[in-house]
Amino acid sequence: MLRIYNSLTRRKEEFVPIEPGKVRMYVCGMTVYDLCHVGHARVMVVFDVVARYLRASGFEVTYVRNITDIDDKIIRRAHERGENIQELTARYIEALHEDAEGLQILPPDREPRATESMEAIIAMVQRLLEQGYAYQGENGDIYYDVSHFEGYGALSGKQLDELRAGERVQVSEAKTDPLDFVLWKAAKPNEPAWDSPWGPGRPGWHIECSAMSTQALGPHFDIHGGGQDLQFPHHENEIAQSEAATGCKFVNYWMHNGFVRVDDEKMSKSLGNFFTVREVLEHYHPEVLRYFILSSHYRSPLNYTEQQLETAQAAVTRLYTALRGMPGEGISISAQGSAQELAEGDDPFVQRFCEAMDDDFNTPEALALLNEIRHALNRAREEGDKDKVQYLARLLPSLGAILGLLTQEPEQFLRDPRQAAAPSIVSAEGEAALSDGDIEQLIAQRTAARKNKDWAAADHLRDVLKKQGITLEDTPTGTLWRRG
């Protein structure tokens, strides 16, 4: 029985989909004015795993992740660079897709863009005006009247008076209440604009997500996700405007992942303390970054350090090392398979994996189970239990795939150049890193030296490889190697 922590009710609740066997999920995506950083990676990885596990549990999932391609930040960045807005957003959308693919994120089923959803946005604003939830200010902007929505503040757990105490109405604004928020901004010089019944302009940020989510999934859907920083005011405002416009409940389960922190501060572009996804992936394999992200529960803060990444790298390396030379076929459990069917069997590893994931997607516990299977696999191999070895060698990557891990051939991962520690990529003499072919040639020379009982030469060749960050493992069938 899957239980999800619902940010709206502040407790874990049994997950019951609106339509049996089907899940509709919307996650707030990127505002495309810069490259994705590790904070964005956490959102993508967390909800990629949620979608993978729901599918593995037998649900038919419709996963929607939007792109915000018109926004104040985008306009400001384009003006700063003297660049066309469409060219700026197109470049960063392409970069977003490259980063997602690099992180082994499965693509969402739908990826609506704000600029392609203008008809739905304008229609929703029009309904809010007609139903008395919105008004036009003297400056031509359309505002949402928060005082007309009885449930405002439920998601953040705050009262209206408490929220107003921290707000101020700027002189330039024409809204009547400090908490009222803009739905439609009247056109300004040198800004993109779309025609509307109230004159040319562009949408506010909050209305974009309400329109895109309801257009893609209907007025009432199962799960809405995003970063903790979006809980207020963005998601609070989404609830207010969506439920006022449609007259029905907006979302059943709200999920928010915690911040990524650097030196106890939230990782963000405004603070300038962020690491882009592509910077990290230059030095670490995607599965290392995924393991690092999943090693903390999605609702907990995640502290970014090189040491934590190196710990994750060592953990993933141990998993792949255990699979080296093992059969890699799945055992009917995958992103498209059914974990629930296996959980109803008698395999304790699968049952415990499902129990962990059913407990609000407890990925740290799920990772611990993968490492238990690794230990069991190594023991079975030492004991010569071939049947158990074969089963566990298929089970480990099958469960790992639900987390987006262990998806490659072990040799491919273990020989990835990023597996070598950064200082070891260049030798002490300043020579370039060895290619795979160079490594194989040196190993062949070492094998010949050992065959001739020239132990000094064999040891020298091992030392040469070690300085290059190459680890050797002598086995009855030959010498295996990996970077790092």
Query: Does the pLDDT of residue 331 top 50, yes or no?
Result: no
Residue 54's region, left for phi above 0, alpha for psi from -120 to 50, else beta, is alpha
Shared-domain flag, residues 211 and 335: no
Q: What residues are designated binding site for ATP?
A: 269
Q: 3-state class of 386 per DSSP?
A: helix
Confidence of residue 112 (pLDDT cuts 50, 70, 90): very high
| In the chain, % of residues over pLDDT 70 | 86
Domain final position from 239, 266, 293: 266
Confidence of residue 450 (pLDDT cuts 50, 70, 90): confident
Question: pLDDT tens across 375-388, in order?
Answer: 999 999 999 999 99
Shared-domain flag, residues 405 and 428: no
Residue 18's domain spans which residues? 3-266
Q: What residues are designated binding site for Zn(2+)?
A: 28, 209, 234, 238
Pairing of strands 11-14, 478-483: unpaired
Query: Does the pLDDT of residue 420 top 70, yes or no?
Result: no
Question: Looking at the domain assignment, is residue 296 inside a domain?
Answer: no
Question: Looking at the domain assignment, is residue 271 inside a domain?
Answer: no
Looking at every residue in the chain, the average pLDDT score rounds to 88
What is the rounded average pLDDT of the residues 295-313? 93
Report whether 196 contacts 184 (CB < 8 A).
Answer: yes
Report whether 483 contacts 415 (CB < 8 A).
Answer: yes
Question: Looking at the domain assignment, is residue 57 inside a domain?
Answer: yes
pLDDT at 334: 44
pLDDT at 447: 74
pLDDT at 344: 54
C-alpha span between 4 and 13 (Å, rounded): 5
What CATH number is attached to the domain comprising 36? 3.40.50.620
pLDDT at 100: 97
Query: Does the pLDDT of residue 460 top 80, yes or no?
Result: no
Domain final position from 352, 374, 409: 409
Q: What residues are designated binding site?
A: 28, 209, 234, 238, 269
pLDDT at 456: 73
pLDDT at 68: 98
Question: Looking at the domain assignment, is residue 354 inside a domain?
Answer: yes
Higher per-residue pLDDT: 261 or 203? 203
Question: Looking at the domain assignment, is residue 281 inside a domain?
Answer: no
Q: What share of the chain is helix, strand, coil (3-state, %, to 5)?
A: 50, 15, 35
Across 60-64, 390-394, 434-438, which has the greatest mean pLDDT?
A: 60-64
Shared-domain flag, residues 49 and 198: yes
Q: Provide the 8-state DSSP code for 232.
A: I
Question: Looking at the domain assignment, is residue 120 inside a domain?
Answer: yes
pLDDT at 169: 46
What is the rounded average pLDDT of the residues 227-239? 96
What is the rounded average pLDDT of the residues 7-25? 98
Number of domains, the chain:
3
pLDDT at 174: 78
What is the rounded average pLDDT of the residues 455-466? 74
Shared-domain flag, residues 402 and 427: no
Shared-domain flag, residues 251 and 157: yes
Higher per-residue pLDDT: 341 or 84? 84
Domain final position from 236, 266, 296: 266
**CB-based burial, 169-201: b 16+ in 10 Å, e otherwise:** eeeebbbebbbbbbbbbbeeeebbebebebeeb
pLDDT at 423: 33
